[in-house]
Amino acid sequence: MQARLLLEDGTLFTGKAFGSEGSSVGEVVFNTGITGYQEVLSDPSYCGQIVTMTYPLIGNYGIARDDFESIRPYIHGFVVREHEIVPSNWRAEYSLDSLLKEYGIIGISGIDTRMLTRRIRHHGVMKGILTTSNVRVEELLEQMKATPLMIDQVSRVSTKSVYSSPGSKERVVLVDFGSKSGILRDLTKRGCDVVIVPQDATADQIRRLAPDGILLSNGPGDPKDVPHAANMIAELLGEFPIFGICLGHQLFALASGADTEKLKFGHRGGNHPVKDLQTGRCYITSQNHGYTVKEESIAGTQLEVTHINNNDRTIEGLRHKQHPAFSVQYHPEAAPGPFDSSYLFDDFLSMIREHKQNSSAQPRQAQIAAAYQAGGGTPASASKGELHYAEK
């Protein structure tokens, strides 16, 4: 079956369809990873986007249960040069085509992905429509123009209920803006008691979970589309140690008074060089984002830049000068990608322990007694909030 990809500038690509049938509109982006197409497909940060893989052969090792980064894929289309129908790998449980069919995702193969990538790099990311229909190009253009790009991706991919991954060490509240499973894996293998909360959790609701630290996850879209999250972070800043990843990094910057802007074509792939300004060491990182923190907006805030991108000098890491909080634009949990930066999870836990040692908080008994006295000798009635807990 024939499939077509039409860009908003009128560029048309015609190839062979695989996966599902129909039409889908999204922002057309490219990923430079050589492997890891399953992790790319299941990364919630791609919600609403049509993803082009620059590596020419995709599908050759199939789909494996253990390689998912979320419960399901959220992308709006998949573009490859060559689609391998029959995978050749002992771990494969089914094919790429089967996965796309299961979740209603359209795929197109047999087009010049190098030309498409160069066009995006030159003109920037743009809206596109991917279709298996035979309607005229003029009708496709009208359909694409009439379909706005999504701005509610975070609410679509975030958990709706609170759930936990029990551990015996530090309690970390993971705010799910579209979190990859790799983040939870890295926390749990370090023994953390992780509580995952929805993207719209309030500061008070998080306080009631009594965290030792807060991790702000990755997620899709423009950070300015979730202003409630930046407000929540600003309220908790200084009260708990905070670690932000990707979208969490951008929200941490907004909460600290900095600003963000959209990149021309973003950073997506497993081979992006990042320099640590303190040590001078260069790390190869996994990245997936279309927005960045504006360098000039850092002046006048309490933020300092800790990492920069060696390709375009954009900001890749921030640290708060007064409070125990830091963030990175890239993915220390990789998946897919190199594990150069997994040490950041250890840095986060060290920050939590140091904060607890230096904290002048009253003992629990004193806090309970003070609350009892403030209530006139009667137990205070505490609001339970509106968090929905997942049932076992």
Active site residues: 246, 331, 333
- Per-residue burial over 300-311, b if 16 or more Cβ lie within 10 Å, else e, is eebbeebbbbee
Is 300 marked within a binding site?
no
- CB 217 within 8 Å of CB 178: yes
Question: β-pairing, 126-131 with 82-83?
Answer: unpaired
Question: β-pairing, 193-197 with 163-165?
Answer: antiparallel
Chain Cα centroid distance, residue 45: 4
Is 134 marked within a binding site?
no
Is 247 marked within a binding site?
yes
Enumerate residues 6+ apart whose C-beta is below 8 A from 44: 69, 70, 74, 157, 178, 179, 180, 218, 219, 220
Is 290 marked within a binding site?
yes
Is 309 marked within a binding site?
no
Cα–Cα distance, 6 to 22 (Å, whole number): 14
Q: Find, among 272, 270, 262, 264, the residue nearest to 309 by Cα.
A: 272
- CB 307 within 8 Å of CB 277: yes
Q: CB-based burial of residue 10 (10 Å sphere; 0-12 exposed, 13-18 middle, 19+ buried)?
A: exposed
Cα–Cα distance, 46 to 354 (Å, whole number): 36
Is 57 marked within a binding site?
no
Cα–Cα distance, 59 to 80 (Å, whole number): 9
> What are the DSSP calls for 40-90, one per residue?
HHT-GGGTTEEEEESSSEESTT-B-GGG-SSSS---SEEE-SEE-SS---T
Q: CB-based burial of residue 360 (10 Å sphere; 0-12 exposed, 13-18 middle, 19+ buried)?
A: exposed
- CB 14 within 8 Å of CB 4: yes
Cα–Cα distance, 294 to 312 (Å, whole number): 13
Is 221 marked within a binding site?
yes
What phi and psi values does residue 391 have, to the nearest 5 degrees? -85, 145
Number of Cα atoms under 13 Å in the Cβ half of residue 377: 0
Is 77 marked within a binding site?
no
Cα–Cα distance, 331 to 312 (Å, whole number): 18
Cα–Cα distance, 96 to 61 (Å, whole number): 9
Q: Which residues are annotated as a binding site?
A: 45, 219, 221, 247, 250, 288, 290-291
Q: Which residues are annotated as a binding site for L-glutamine?
A: 45, 219, 221, 247, 250, 288, 290-291
